[in-house]
Amino acid sequence: MEGRIPLIGEEFPRMEVKTTHGNKVLPDDYKGKWLVLFSHPADFTPVCTTEFVAFQKRYDEFRKLNTELLGLSIDQVFSHIKWVEWIKEKLGVEIEFPIIADDMGDVSRQLGFIHPKKGTNTVRAVFIIDPNGIIRAILYYPQEVGRNIDEILRMIKAFQVSDENKVAMPANWPNNELIGDAVIVPPANNVATAKERLASKELTCYDWWFCYKKLQ
């Protein structure tokens, strides 16, 4: 993976980072948990502040999904600490998750977080990493548009349901326009299975390649 950013399906590269909660080794320190690693352009900026508050407001929901949060920007740890103090004092919200102080930019460059036309600023990137340290999703947002934190929660729920049941999730799950909260069964890969699908009482099918079911 040397020389390029990691991709979906690959192991998150092992690295030691400095955070507001002390040094951490990624992804080792989060083994057995899901991890949302997200970068923000800079401390003491309006959009980033709204994102941190939004993440914190949903932290309990992430924890219920066995998921931890980890922020990052190219700021010193002192800046992170002061910003977190400001958020608590002025907005009444205590940020409980750690923030990586990537003041040299090494982590951001390795992960592809640097905005190509904004100097050393990071984009609003999101890596969703599973309990085995595998990167499952990568999201990028521009500086001028804040993230939808509920969508990140939805993705983690969808991953967990998909992994447990070996199914795929439709658009806007669990509120899909065609099949509601049902899940999609992997397409048949041979003629016999295709015929069985259409005759199955456990599945509902538009056709043999598009079958779905309700989870119990």
Q: Which fold has domain 166-216?
A: Antioxidant, Horf6; Chain A, domain 2 (3.30.1020)
pLDDT at 2: 41
Catalytic residue among 17, 26, 37, 48: 48
Q: Which CATH class is domain 15-149?
A: alpha beta
Supply the pLDDT for residue 91.
Answer: 98
- Secondary structure (DSSP) of 64-129: HTTEEEEEEESS-HHHHHHHHHHHHHHH-----S-EEE-TT-HHHHHHT-B-TTSTT-B-EEEEEE
Q: What is the mean pLDDT of the chain?
A: 94
Tens of pLDDT, residue by residue over 99-134, are 999 999 999 999 988 877 666 778 899 999 999 999
Residue 136 has pLDDT above 90, yes or no: yes
211 belongs to the catalytic site: no
Contacts of residue 81, Cβ cutoff 8 Å, sequence gap at least 6 = 20
Q: Where are the domains of the chain?
A: 15-149, 166-216
- pTM of the full predicted structure? 0.93
- Summarised one tens digit per residue, pLDDT across range 41-60 is 999 999 999 999 999 999 99
pLDDT at 123: 86
